[in-house]
A and B are shown apart, each in its own frame.
Chain A
């Protein structure tokens, strides 16, 4: 190239010399000044012409190179630059061809790889979507688990408090059962004592009944005698009445007898007075006897009432005795029952205490579980976010790889 350029300048110089010489000859004939100007102009013309031709010759290969690169710039890497010369331009063409081959190879590789990336990205996107869905499911499931664990923890706490109450109640039951035991024992003893008392009372009532019966019989005998007295007194009253009438008649007879009967009349009057006294006393006796009779009847009635009441009392005492014995038996049975209750309540209290401890441990575990589950849930939520981000990245990757594929498809490699 340097040679060609040197040679070209040499030829141009020769041509200029030739033109100058030719023109110099003409110039002698003519005006000098004119000839000098003409010579210069001719020189410039020759130089320009020579420069144009030279540049055309020199840039032909470069233009070829430019046309080839413009095609390549459209993506066609299959084209080659034709090089015949061995100069710098030819070397440039060769290097260019080598570069193209290398580019073609790279573009092909890039194309294949981008296809692969695209497919992989699509697969990745699909997988990421599936995983995202799964992760969301896991997240909701783990949230449910977390809630469940919290509820469980609360339940366990409640169970703990309830069990504590049960334990307290069982203690109370045990103490009360012990109190009931002693009370029942006392009640049993008292019932037995009452039953014994009732038996004695029954015997006493029997005695009372017998005595009342005897007394009633005595009073009835008394009443019969009083009735006899009444009858006797009736007879006395009648006698007194007859005596009275006799005295009256004696008085009348004495009156009829006149003076001789006067003494007799006095006697008759005395007799009548005695009869009157007899009648008055008989009346008193009668009244007393009737009072005795009335009172005897009342006493007998009262005694019969007392006997009936005593018999009723006896029955009541008998039933009371039976009831007391029943109570005594029932109390003995109750004692056994209460003893069992006491033992069971004590056992229950101990068991409930153990249960409380166990539940406290369960509560701790459940709380820890709830905490862990909550953490897991949080982690799952984070993971879900990460998965969503990853899914988004995968989708973006798909888009990017697609774009890359599009870009790479510009290059013609076949």
Chain B
């Protein structure tokens, strides 16, 4: 695999990174259409090249500040998760690719074992799924960790996200919301 390049961006004070191999495209999008009754982690739906893409609101997922940027960017995941994307509200110039993660970063590790996120330490199911609906991500949900800490060039810390885990997390939230059988 060509490997370690990541695309990274900041939401509020926190920086997130996504492996470029997991990305189909980054582009400007209009304000997403909110789905009534959907959990707050779902920012809404946008149409990209004839496909409806569900945009995940990372600020909601990780409980950081609301988006403040004037430009709305969408990071569309690569197939087979191309119907999911991340909503990035920032200037496009703050979105960069970085090779720094190449070291200590292995594509194979993505189905994560040995999670380093401190918050993933808490284990066990929460009381009921309904109670999770609008709560920020707080635990290993379904045994998968959403991301792990890496260090980018310039000693910038970032949370390297796992697109598949995020997609699953989002799906579970939606299902819990609408009581759709798995």
A→B interface (CB under 8 Å): 240-241, 244-245, 248-249, 251-252, 255-259, 261-262, 265, 269, 272, 275-276, 279
Contact = CB atoms under 8 A, between A and B. Distances in A.
B92 A252 contact: no
Contacts of A257: 2
Secondary structure at chain A's binding surface: helix, strand, loop or mixed? Answer: helix
Contacts of A240: 93
User: 10 closest Cβ contacts across the A-B interface?
Assistant: A255-B20, A251-B97, A241-B92, A252-B20, A258-B2, A245-B92, A252-B23, A244-B92, A255-B5, A248-B26
Nearest to A280: B93
Contacts of B164: none
B38 interface: no
Interface residues of B, number: 21
Contacts of A258: 1-2
23 contacts: A240-B93, A241-B93, A244-B93, A245-B27, A245-B28, A245-B73, A245-B92, A245-B95, A248-B92, A249-B25, A249-B26, A251-B5, A251-B97, A252-B7, A252-B25, A256-B20, A256-B78, A259-B2, A261-B2, A262-B2, A269-B97, A276-B93, A279-B93
A269 B97 CA distance: 8
Contacts of A275: 93
Of the listed residues A241, A252, A256, A258, the one surrounded by the most CB atoms of chain B closer than 10 A to its CB is A252
Contacts of B1: 258
Interface in B58-110: 71, 73, 78, 91-93, 95-97
A258 B5 CA distance: 11
Nearest to B25: A249
Given A255-B20, A255-B21, A256-B78, A248 B97 contact: yes
A275 B97 CA distance: 14
Nearest to A269: B97
A265 B25 CA distance: 15
A144 to B, nearest CB: 120
Contact of A252 (B26, B28, B93): B26
Nearest to B5: A255
Contacts of B91: 241
Interface of B: 1-2, 5, 7, 20-21, 23-28, 71, 73, 78, 91-93, 95-97
Contacts of B92: 241, 244-245, 248
A244 B95 CA distance: 9
Best-buried of B20, B78, B91 by chain A (most CB within 10 Å): B20
A248 B93 contact: no
A245 B2 contact: no
Nearest to B28: A245
Nearest to B73: A245
Given A251-B20, A272-B97, 4 more contacts: A241-B93, A245-B92, A258-B1, A275-B93
A142 B96 CA distance: 138
Nearest to B24: A252
Contacts of A265: 5
A9 to B, nearest CB: 209
B112 to A, nearest CB: 21
A252 B73 CA distance: 15
A248 B27 CA distance: 9
| Interface-centre pick from B1, B20, B91, B93 (highest chain A CB count, 10 A) | B93
A255 B93 contact: no
A303 B176 CA distance: 68
A248 B95 contact: yes
Nearest to B94: A244
A80 B5 CA distance: 210
A106 B155 CA distance: 186
Contacts of B24: 252
Contact of B2 (A244, A255, A276, A279): A255
A241 B2 CA distance: 27
Contacts of B23: 252
B2 A248 contact: no
B27 A249 contact: yes
Nearest to A268: B97
Give the one of A248, A262, A269, A279 with max B CB within 10 A: A248
Contacts of B73: 245
B106 to A, nearest CB: 15
**B26, B95, B97 — most chain A CB neighbours (10 Å):** B97
Contacts of B25: 249, 252
Contacts of A259: 2
A304 to B, nearest CB: 35
Nearest to A283: B93
A240 B7 CA distance: 19
Contacts of A279: 93
Contacts of A262: 2
Contacts of B95: 244-245, 248
A262 B91 CA distance: 26
